[in-house]
Amino acid sequence: MENIEDLQNRLLAEIAAAADLKALDETRVAALGKKGCITEKMKGLGALPVEEKIAAGKKLNLLKTAVENAVEKRKNELETLELNRRLAEESIDVTLPVRPETQGRIHPVSKIYEEVVAIFGEMGFEVAEGPDIEDQFHNFNALNMPADHPARQMQDTFYIPNPDSADFDDSYVVRTHTSPVQIRTMENKKPPIRIIAPGRTYRSDYDATHTPMFHQVEGLVIDKTTTMAHLKGCLYDFVRAFFEVDNIKVRYRPSYFPFTEPSAEMDIGCKKGKDELKIGEGNDWLEILGCGMVHPKVLAAGGIDPDEYQGFAFGVGLDRLAMLKYGIPDLRTFFESDLRWLKHYGFVPLDESSMTGGLSNNGGLAR
Ligand code: PHE
């Protein structure tokens, strides 16, 4: 029979030669398992005379420990080898461009939408939404434009018949602006309110700077001490961040909207050349948005006490912002779904807009 020394040499050699964890475990079981050779030898001790039993038991215990240690050592070695193999095999070249085959492009309006949400999100605004098909109460009446109000003619409205009523006042509209979301927000939320509402809007109009469907972002802030100074600071910060011009010039001109009092329009400084437009410097002005302090009647229509609360609102044309920022001359091309146009003016999908990572990522322009 194999003596203990030979057995130890054989087992240690087998363990050292085990090619993988499975082979190692088989060797371990063959030695130390229930029916393993060392276990069998241990069982055999009982039959020996006492003197021999002590000496043989000692030797077997030493053998067992030596085998256990060897198994543990080989196991660590094999695990390290396996890890190194995986690290080598699964290594990635981080200098490779990300999905160079990407064909799709983000539409400039979607890009501007993300940029605007990123800027106002940073300032603590939430995004609110409302339906495209509105009733006249939310689109007009609650915004201080009753049925006979001349301001209704300011907007060329598309009306939609109401199947349940022949009365024209009950007909629906496709919203002419995002301002009805002001009312819907007031109806559902208690002040303090700080929301922007981006979305589609519709008017019967069609030329190089007007399309029947276009996009706006509404802004609404209501609190007990909100003032015109807050409006000015907030919108100044917005245009600075949006056009990425730190010392951009702005001015506010008095204006009229039925739902704000006082009302203003905001212009940004620019230089209009023959074929180019430079934003932020020069002696020309570009109108970019309408704004004002929310009219007390509008607060009341939204269920908010105008004696306790006040606030400001603004409305910006998203498409117009896209035209200005990215130098796109004709608004109608936005909605023609021409792939060549989208390839030229669109954005690489993986460049997300954020205030910290960069807003427009001009490097991501497909051009
Ligand atoms: N709703 C206005 C428009 O479409 C813009 C606006 C919104 C003006 C909010 C003032 C306050 O022209």
Which has the higher per-residue pLDDT, 228 or 281?
228
Neighbours of 312 (CB within 10 A): 24
**Which residue has the least CA distance to atom 7 on ligand 1?**
315
98 domain-assigned: no
Return the CATH number at 194.
Answer: 3.30.930.10
Q: Is 177 in the pocket of ligand 1 (CB under 6 A)?
A: yes
pLDDT of 225 above 70? yes
214 domain-assigned: yes
Q: Is 314 in the pocket of ligand 1 (CB under 6 A)?
A: yes
Strands 277-279 and 172-174: unpaired
Q: Is 313 in the pocket of ligand 1 (CB under 6 A)?
A: yes
Number of domains in the chain: 2
Q: Look at residues 89, 118, 145 and tell me which one is the last residue of a structural domain.
A: 89
pLDDT band at 354 (very low <50, low <70, confident <90, very high): confident
Which pLDDT belongs to residue 363? Answer: 42
Q: Which range of residues forms the domain containing residue 72?
A: 4-89
pLDDT band at 367 (very low <50, low <70, confident <90, very high): very low
191 domain-assigned: yes
Shared domain for 77 and 178, answered yes or no, is no
Shared domain for 78 and 112, answered yes or no, is no
Shared domain for 342 and 221, answered yes or no, is yes
Q: Is 144 in the pocket of ligand 1 (CB under 6 A)?
A: no
Which pLDDT belongs to residue 357? Answer: 67
CA of 345 from ligand 1 middle (Å) equals: 28
Whether the model pTM is above 0.75: no
Shared domain for 76 and 132, answered yes or no, is no
Shared domain for 204 and 119, answered yes or no, is yes
Which has the higher per-residue pLDDT, 155 or 266?
266
pLDDT of 98 above 60? yes
pLDDT band at 149 (very low <50, low <70, confident <90, very high): confident
25 domain-assigned: yes
Shared domain for 249 and 337, answered yes or no, is yes
Shared domain for 52 and 121, answered yes or no, is no
- Cα–Cα distance, 300 to 277 (Å, whole number): 42
Which pLDDT belongs to residue 359? Answer: 74
101 domain-assigned: no
Shared domain for 116 and 18, answered yes or no, is no
